[in-house]
Structure 1
Amino acid sequence: MKRFLTPQGVIGFTLIVLIVGIGIFAPLVIPADMATKMKMTMRLKPPSIGYPFGTDQLGRDIFFRVLLGAHTSLGIAGAAVAISVLIGLPLGIISGYARGAVDNVLMRIVDTLLSFPALLLALTISAMLGPSIPNTIIAIGIAFTPFLARIIRGEALRVSAMPYVEAARAAGTNDAAMIWRHILPNVLPLVIVQATISLAFAILAEAGLSFLGLGTQPPNSSWGLMIQASRDYLDVAPWTALAPGAAVALTVLALNMFGDVLRDVLDPRAS
């Protein structure tokens, strides 16, 4: 618990709670038209009291778009990581526990996917499926699955070689019970840590896909889409990219900070 109370842990956790709270409650308290309402007479206005983050090229309030964009960006990242866990967790555990031919076949598939950079793989899948929020979630989830599966497989190999696991096997415990009672509980802490860190990369991946036009599509609002829309106005209205860019950077920083602390707490090999 003391490790959570370090400055890094407190700052990271506080920022995550704040950002996630905005992502959850912003759509409930902010009318949807606040982010989509266009006022051409107010286009590209700099930050002011009335518009804290300024306005974009269509006169829309960037402050409200950033708040509502948190819901989309965090939702996509969270769902994508959930998919990678649902696929990568059983894949890694079965591979690490079964070993032999099963391990060789599964890991060759994982190695093939790992040969592609995650963002490039997500970009390819998204281009094949078409640009939409569900397809973006699927693309990012599949792209991050091999990383998670490889890490879980290594931990499953380590746990399955422990003396108490060997003793349970000698006592006649079947494979399903062995995985459920002994392997899975010891692998879960690593999964939690890796999922937290993967969230940061998933947010960057969503922003990258949206920037390239293969992620979130208008009229939905996401941080990556806002950055993409602002690229033609950076010389005259840099604030249009600064606010969503800062939101992405702050969220990734918070997740990485908290993930490092979480790893120190949950990693059984941590000192």
Structure 2
Amino acid sequence: MWKQPLFVVGFSMLAFFLFGSFAYEWLFGNVPRQVFFIKENGRVVEGLPISPKWTYPFGTDQYGYDMLGKIMIGAKYTIMATLAIAALRILLAIPLGFLLSTYLRRHQNWISGFIDSMHYIPLTLLAYFVLTPVLWMPEEGFSTTMWERIFIQVVIMALLTMPIVSVLIANESALLYKKEYVLASKTLGAGRFRIIRFHLLPQMREKIVVLYGQQVIETFVILAHLGLLNLFLGGTKVSYDPMFGDPPMSIAYEWAGLFGSSFRYLLGSPWLPLTPVLFISLSILAVSFMMEEYVRSKNPKVKKRMQAKKKDAVVEWNREQLREKMVLLKAHKKNEPS
């Protein structure tokens, strides 16, 4: 897996965003640099928001904050929350899926049919109505900390689609129950838990990893949709000033919040919403690279091809060594006195 180039590229991209975010905050603090205008030869040539330049690669927002700094500060919240939501969803769905396919097999059809109907419910709207009391700042301010709100959001978003994922796992494990080695194990007296541990789980490990990658991508998309609805990770800062109120803002500078809070500038200052979209897309691309290369590394044909390359390299090295020894042997025979 680590020998697959695209897997290394995808992993390096996510690691760079994540560790770069911690390093940026450690070096420069949790407030991005701010500028109000650009001067050339003593004259103001550009005001807010400042377009991308060499000193500001992604420009500034409407308040003068550096977009690159906001992206780097919010990277850790976005990536860690996304990975945590998908991981919690999978960890809860695995035992429920095996429970459904093993201990509730008689009821699996109607339970799966009922849960499959949830595919037609817009998950973004459901998450919006459930999370609004948690993330939308009341007039008196939040009574919880940012990390508490992130934790609540992670749990709720994991629970919303956990039934659907558990049904997918149950359907896959139900197919494995028809395999000959599982039937033989049951005939020899293996218990249900033993079948799950030694037969179902090892056979489904690769599919579960791929399913986790799919859930990560889906979570990125849902967070972006919630951002368009002004519901941001960690909470939405709302101004209730009737005269000079600011629009809703992201507290954590997470990418979906930066996208949603600046979407109205798409035509006038396109770098504001497109910068977070770019980094969300790069993260999704990185996860896709890792999924694709993981599947390729587990493919028997790819394994045989890599093993054949290793064998060819060993054979070629042995031939080269033999050729060198033959040359040395001939030279030694010529130098021997007759």
**Cα distance in 1 between the residues matched to 2:3 and 2:165:** 25
Q: Counterparts of 2:23 and 2:204 in 1: how far apart (Å)?
A: 33
In the alignment, what sits opposite 1:52? 57
Residues 1:228 and 2:260 aligned together: yes
Over 3 Å counting, the alpha-carbon distance change for 1:210 and 1:185 in structure 2 is same
Q: Distance in 2 between matches of 1:252 and 1:111?
A: 26
The alpha carbon displacement at 1:16 in A equals 3.4
Q: Quick check: 1:151 aligned with 2:168? A: yes
Aligned residue for 2:121, secondary structure, equals coil
Larger Rg: 2
What is the CA-CA distance between 1:65 and the residue it aligns to?
Answer: 0.6
Q: Do the aligned partners of residues 190 and 39 (structure 1) sit closer, same or farther apart at CA in structure 2, a change above 3 Å counting?
A: same
Q: Is contact 2:88-2:158 (8 Å) kept? A: yes
Is residue 165 of structure 1 aligned with residue 182 of structure 2? yes
Moved more, 235-244 or 25-34: 25-34
Structure 1 gap ranges (5+):
none
2:119 matches 1:114: yes
Aligned match for 2:13, one of 5, 12, 15? 15
1:250 and 2:282 matched: yes
Q: Is the 8 A contact 2:71 2:276 kept in 1?
A: yes
How far is 1:185 from its partner?
2.0
Return the offset for 1:104: 3.5
Task: State which of 90, 96, 104 in structure 2 corresponds to 1:91.
Answer: 96
Instruction: Name the structure 1 match of 2:209.
Output: 192
Q: Which amino acid aligns with 1:65?
A: K
**Shift of residue 120, structure 1, vs aligned partner:** 3.3
The change in CA–CA distance for 1:51 and 1:118 in structure 2 (over 3 A counts) is: same
**3-state SS in 2 of match to 1:47:** coil
Q: Which has the higher helix share?
A: 1
1:43 aligns with 2:60: no
Q: Secondary structure at the match of 1:33?
A: coil
TM-superposed CA distance for 1:248, in Å, is 0.9
| Residue 20 (structure 1) shift | 3.8
Consecutive aligned runs of 4 or more in structure 1 exceeding 6 Å deviation: 267-271
Q: TM-score, normalised by structure 1?
A: 0.84
Q: How far does the alpha carbon of each residue in 1:55-106 deviate from its partner, in whole angstroms, 9 at most, with x for none?
A: 1011111111111221111122111112211221112222223353342354
Query: How far does the alpha carbon of each residue in 1:169-219 deviate from its partner, in whole angstroms, 9 at most, with x for none?
Result: 222222222212221222222111111122112112112112212232332
Contact 1:76 1:206 in 2 (8 A): no
Q: CA deviation at 1:145?
A: 1.9
Residue segments in structure 2 that go unaligned for 5+ positions in a row: 38-46, 137-148, 237-249, 304-338
Q: What number of residue pairs does the alignment pair up? A: 267
1:139-167 alpha-carbon deviations (Å, 9 max, x no partner): 43123324422321222112222222222
Shift of 1:125: 2.8
Residue in 2 aligned with 1:4?
4
Deviation at 1:226, TM superposition (A): 0.8
C-alpha distance in 1, partners of 2:122/2:3?
Answer: 33
Contact 1:96 1:156 in 2 (8 A): yes
Deviation at 1:27, TM superposition (A): 3.8
- State the Cα distance separating 1:267 from its structure 2 match: 6.5
Q: How far did residue 247 of structure 1 move?
A: 0.5
Q: Distance in 2 between matches of 1:115 and 1:128?
A: 24
Partner Cα separation in structure 1 for residue 36 and residue 165 of structure 2? 46
Aligned partner letter, 2:71: V
Instruction: State the 1:23 CA deviation.
Output: 4.7
Is this contact kept in 2: 1:210–1:224, CA < 8 A?
Answer: yes
Do the aligned residues in 1 keep the contact of 2:115 with 2:167 (CA within 8 Å)? yes
Distance 2:130 2:264 in 1: 27
Is the 8 Å Cα contact of residues 93 and 184 (structure 1) preserved in structure 2? no
Aligned mates of 1:109, 1:20 — CA distance in 2: 39
With structure 2 as the length reference, what TM-score do the two structures score?
A: 0.69
- Is 134-143 or 235-244 further displaced after alignment? 134-143
